[in-house]
Amino acid sequence: MTAGIDAHVHLWDRSVDPQDWIDAETMAPIARDFGARDLSEMLAATGLDGAVVVQSSNSLAESIRLARLDSPAIVGLVAWVDLTASVGAQLDRIRKDAAVPVVGVRHLAHIDPDPEWMTREEINEGLAVLEREDLCFDLVVREWQLPQATRLAARHGGLRFVLDHLGGPPEPGQDRSTWASRLRELARQPNAVAKVSGLTSGLAPGSWRATDLADPVEIALESFGPERLLYGSDWPLAELGGGAAPWKSALEAVLDGLSAAERGRVFGGNAAGVYSLS
Write out pLDDT tens, residues 91-110: 999 999 999 999 999 999 99
The b-or-e profile of 33-53 (16+ CB within 10 A means b, else e) is ebebebbbebbeebebbbbbb
- 1 band by pLDDT with thresholds 50, 70 and 90: low
- When pLDDT is averaged across residues 72-96 and rounded to a whole number, the result is 98
- When pLDDT is averaged across residues 251-262 and rounded to a whole number, the result is 97
Tell me the CB-side half-sphere exposure of residue 268, using CA atoms within 13 A: 17
CATH C-level class of 5-274: alpha beta
Residue 165's pLDDT is: 98
Peptide bond into 236 cis (omega under 30): yes
Show the beta-strand stretches assigned E in 118-239: 136-139, 160-163, 192-196, 229-231
pTM, to two decimals: 0.97
- When pLDDT is averaged across residues 31-58 and rounded to a whole number, the result is 97
- When pLDDT is averaged across residues 209-219 and rounded to a whole number, the result is 95
> pLDDT by residue (tens digit) across 129-174?
999 999 999 999 999 999 999 999 999 999 999 999 999 999 888 9
**80: which DSSP letter?**
-
Sequence spans of domains, the chain: 5-274
Through-space distance between the first and last CA atoms of the chain, rounded to whole angstroms: 14
Residue 184's pLDDT is: 98
Report the alpha-carbon distance of residue 214 to residue 265 in Å, rounded: 19
Residue 193's pLDDT is: 98
Residue 278's pLDDT is: 74
Residue 221's pLDDT is: 98
Q: What percent of the chain has pLDDT over 90?
A: 95
- When pLDDT is averaged across residues 66-79 and rounded to a whole number, the result is 98
**What integer best gives the mean pLDDT of the chain?**
96
Task: Judge contact between 168 and 196, C-beta under 8 A.
Answer: no
